[in-house]
Amino acid sequence: MKKIGVIAKSHKLERVDSVKRLYNWLVEKDLKVFLDCKTGERIGVPSELTKEDVGAKDLDLLIVLGGDGTLLSVARMMYGRGVPILGVNMGSLGFLTEVTMDEIYPTLESVLAGKIDFEERILLSVTVLKKGEVRESHTVMNDVVFNKGVLSRIVDLKVSINGQYVSSYRGDGLIIATPTGSTAYSMAAGGPILYPTIDALIICPICPFSFANRPIVIPGNREIEVRLEVEHKDFYVTLDGQVGFEMNFDDAIHIRRADSRLKLIHLPEKNYYEVLRKKLKWGER
């Protein structure tokens, strides 16, 4: 590995110092390091690159320092590039950013020595059709959330899979989640936890009017279509909790597994069950 990208969310002084130490360590290893301009400004290293510019470089590795939210935004940006991503949590242990700052240097030594494991995570491709025409498309790592406004009435959503009608969901909304996103909003809404490398999708209603509307898990190679059954104002679609747009009555939202997967560096000594135990406090009295 010769070309390393670094994108960091670091506002506190001690975290800025940690990012600067990492940059110096990488340079001392005779590696070419690309920083985005905001990260460079914080640590005193001039850079004119945006995050998108860093992602567009021919990188061998991208290091993301921050939290799961930071990694989600970078994951969408890096779609289709095939660059391995090392997520480093600058706070507590994360579901996605499982490496801590204390573990980063031994981890990087293993990465540079080629002693690494990868986990490939599925992403979602979201296509918005208005009056039958494609108006926009997005890539999503965690979930697509259909949600009414604060003062809106119960909404009716028609869901089809591969053109076959499944059900009309009445309630506050609906979540379509990946296995990676199964521990996010979907879990809070009562959805199942899926092992992150499983090839499957979750359909999880939000506060359904009927108790019979339960979350379901479907194969990852299915395409989901969601439509509003009745005209509804103040209704929105949110992607990974970070990007959103209003959904109208004549819109159709198509959701399927994306063609490319995200490649995350995984530590062999850590396992997903350990992360679940720590984050969800399993086994504690």
User: Could you report the per-residue pLDDT of 11-38, keeping only the tens digit for each?
Assistant: 655 678 889 999 999 999 999 999 999 8
pLDDT of residue 118: 86
Residue 285 has pLDDT above 90, yes or no: no
Residue type, 95: F
pLDDT of residue 283: 80
User: Could you report the per-residue pLDDT of 40-99, keeping only the tens digit for each?
Assistant: 998 999 999 999 999 999 999 999 998 888 899 999 999 999 999 999 988 766 788 878
**What average pLDDT does the segment 194-218 reach?**
94
d(CA 150, CA 172): 10
pLDDT of residue 212: 84
Contact 205, 213 (CB under 8 A): yes
Q: Which region among 9-18, 106-115, 134-143 has the lowest average model confidence (pLDDT)?
A: 9-18
**What average pLDDT does the segment 174-203 reach?**
97
Higher pLDDT, 49 or 272: 49
Instruction: Write the DSSP string, 230-275.
Output: S--SSEEEEETTTEEEE--TTEEEEEEE-SS-EEEEE-TT--HHHH
**What average pLDDT does the segment 99-108 reach?**
88
Domains of the chain, first to last: 3-122+261-280 (3.40.50.10330), 124-257 (2.60.200.30)
* Angle subtended by helix axes 104-112 and 13-28, to nearest 10: 20
What average pLDDT does the structure give for the chain? 91
Residue 251 has pLDDT above 90, yes or no: yes
* Cβ neighbours, 10 Å, residue 235: 20
Phi first, then psi: give them for residue 84, nearest 5 degrees. -65, 140
Contact 148, 166 (CB under 8 A): no
What are the angstrom distances between the C-alpha of 204 and each of 31, 53, 112?
45, 36, 41
Residue 217 has pLDDT above 60, yes or no: yes
**What average pLDDT does the segment 98-123 reach?**
88
Higher pLDDT, 283 or 109: 109
Q: Taking the CA atoms of the chain, what radius of gyration do you get in angstroms?
A: 20
Going by pLDDT thresholds of 50, 70 and 90, the confidence category of residue 151 is low
**Tokens at residue 155, please?**
């909404």
**Tokens at residue 175, please?**
């979540």
Beta strands in the chain (DSSP E): 3-8, 32-35, 61-66, 85-89, 99-100, 117-121, 124-130, 133-140, 143-148, 155-161, 164-177, 200-208, 216-219, 224-228, 235-239, 243-246, 251-257, 262-266
Report the catalytic residues.
Answer: 68
